Amino acid sequence: MFKPKLFTLIKNRPQEFTFSRILADINAGLIVAFIAIPLSIAFGIASGVAPGKGLITAVVAGFLVSFFGGSRVQIGGPTGAFVIIVCGILQQYGTSGLITATAMAGIFLIAMGFLKFGKVIRYIPDPITTGFTSGIAVVLFSTQINDFLGLGLTSIPANFIDKWTLYIQNLSNINISTVVMGISILLFMMFYPKKFKFFPAPLAALIFSTLIVKFFDLPIDTIFSHFGDITKSMALSPQMPALSFEIIEKLFQPALTIAVLAGVESLLSAVVADGMIGKKHISNTELIAQGIANIGSAFFGGIPATGAIARTATNINNGGRTPIAGIAHAIFILIILLVFMKYIVFIPMVTLAVVLFTVAYRMMDFNAFKEIFKAPVSDSLVLLTTFSLTVFVNLVYAIEIGMILASFLFMKRMSDIANIDTAKNDVYEGIDCEYLEEKRNLKGVIVYEINGPFFFGAASRFVEYIEKIKDCKVIILRMRKVPAMDATGYHALYKIYRKCVLSNTSLILCQIQKQPIKVLKNYGFIDILGRANIALNINTAFRKAKDYITYLEEYNNTFHIKK
């Protein structure tokens, strides 16, 4: 059940941990740390907490995800997906509420792992994940307008429309120096040489802009001018979440949203990583590790964490192949945090805004919106609904309503897939010529074939279809294309059986697959129907139909003679 990849590799493949391999992983971890530092600070600020909380999350959660995770190369830490939900929790419940919600989310994730939800979470439809990810990108972009334009606003509404209304009303307060610096940083990152992988663009921009603002004494807002002394917020001091029945009840929904987001994003990242290295992760172990990481992050006052796709891909591209790379990345961040803590306060806020602009750009799935008219209407509806709710309402409602819509559409599709065919050539496929000829001569025999899962939607239509039949002696129900049946499907079948009994019609089931036969056995329907009315193939079914009609004719003739 819980098999951390680090321990399984040490036990089963110790030959992988050569000196050169470990050195390559440590080098990859250092490069990832350089990328994670500006992102962690930016995500912390965007979430509404002190900048140091993002770094603490990167250290604690990053270490625990790699140490206990089910992936060789997963890099854990704060991501843009949580910005909206964290801001909402902070505004409503404060810092203690956020710590409690993060810890609860960790417990939910551990429970999901032990309940083997790893594979289930991966089946969340693409329109939902695309909708809320793109919606988060838009909201994340919006949260950084104040810092990019240097408006100097201290109290910004959470609502998207109110936020932009406030921005427009304060356009006269734009700081020209901040805007010029922001555009310069953006161009710097866009044209930064890709060959400098060891020193990534976000870190270079962060150092470059900090030095310029410091030495030229530019009137640009920095972390210090915005937050004051943040050194205390960077201390790894344990904090116990405030737990009570009332608090748990209030935070249940946001905590579950954090857990679902963390589970989806981490497993998506792990799947992408599998494709890049040709290995497989252990999904349920990964969920448990994400749960442990979020509890650990909450314990040290951090924010929610998950697997980060961009940092994981960077790890792989720079030679990371074992969990040692992720562990090294967390240790390097801790070292940098302790050594350079006093310099971090001079980072310009506009630099972090530009870094988050690039994150939002990568999160936004432009192709999905370009192809929205090519996709099925139902998928487009789910995507647009989830996107709109994420942007204009909140992420909790977006996920809940998106999942409900997707569930209803799934039901409809299953119902549409499952159809009932009769009197078509393919229905009689496999019938010997003699039986096909006899079928044409036999009156009162109808063959039906159900195609697709026999679930509730198809079951109701099936009952309506069959109940219209009149003057029928034998119904052959061919089930070779029914992979699955649910309780509603069984009850529909039983209802048809009762109708057949009342009308003195023989019901013959033909070519039943493994799962449906198991369901019918569990309900005792095989004994109710009679094993004589179960046929292995269509020819046997016709033989049974012919025997039954012959029996009816002989019975009727005998009855008339006696009468």
| pLDDT averaged per 10 residues in sequence order, the chain, 563 residues | 90 90 93 89 87 91 96 94 86 89 96 89 76 86 93 85 94 94 94 80 90 91 81 69 80 92 89 86 95 95 91 89 96 90 86 89 87 82 89 80 77 63 52 51 77 73 73 86 86 88 89 92 92 89 86 70 49
pLDDT of residue 118: 86
Domain contains 8: no
**CATH code of the domain covering residue 462:** 3.30.750.24
Nearest to 114 by CA among 305, 288, 296, 290: 288
Is residue 64 located within the same domain as residue 204?
yes
Is residue 447 located within the same domain as residue 404?
no
Domain termination residue (choose one: 361, 387, 409):
409
pLDDT of residue 563: 47
Is residue 343 located within the same domain as residue 446?
no
pLDDT of residue 442: 63
SS percent in the chain: helix, strand, coil, step 5:
70, 5, 25
Is residue 536 located within the same domain as residue 454?
yes
Domain termination residue (choose one: 382, 409, 436):
409
pLDDT of residue 420: 61
Print the domain residue range for 467. Answer: 419-562
Domain contains 245: yes
Is the model's pTM score more than 0.95?
Answer: no
Is residue 404 located within the same domain as residue 448?
no
Is residue 394 located within the same domain as residue 490?
no
How many Å apart are CA 334 and CA 315, to the nearest integer?
Answer: 18
Domain contains 9: no
Residue ranges of the alpha helices (H) in 115-244? 118-121, 126-143, 145-149, 160-169, 176-190, 201-216, 223-227
Domain termination residue (choose one: 355, 390, 409):
409
pLDDT of residue 422: 57
Is residue 105 located within the same domain as residue 240?
yes
Is residue 450 located within the same domain as residue 401?
no
Domain contains 2: no
pLDDT of residue 559: 54
Domain contains 3: no
Domain contains 219: yes
- The separation between CA 161 and the C-alpha centre of its own chain, rounded to angstroms, equals 27
Domain contains 10: no
The H-or-E segment that residue 98 falls in is: helix 83-114
Report, in angstroms and rounded to the nearest whole number, the Rg of the chain calculated over CA atoms. Answer: 31
pLDDT of residue 438: 54
Whether 359 contacts 80, CB under 8 Å: yes
Is residue 182 located within the same domain as residue 320?
yes
pLDDT of residue 470: 73
Domain contains 5: no
Is residue 77 located within the same domain as residue 199?
yes
pLDDT of residue 288: 97
The single-letter DSSP state of residue 185 is H
Is residue 427 located within the same domain as residue 382?
no
Is residue 238 located within the same domain as residue 157?
yes
Task: Take residue 140 and report the two structure tokens written for it.
Answer: 């994340």
How, if at all, do strands 419-422 and 474-481 pair? unpaired
Whether 198 contacts 366, CB under 8 Å: no
Domain count, the chain: 2
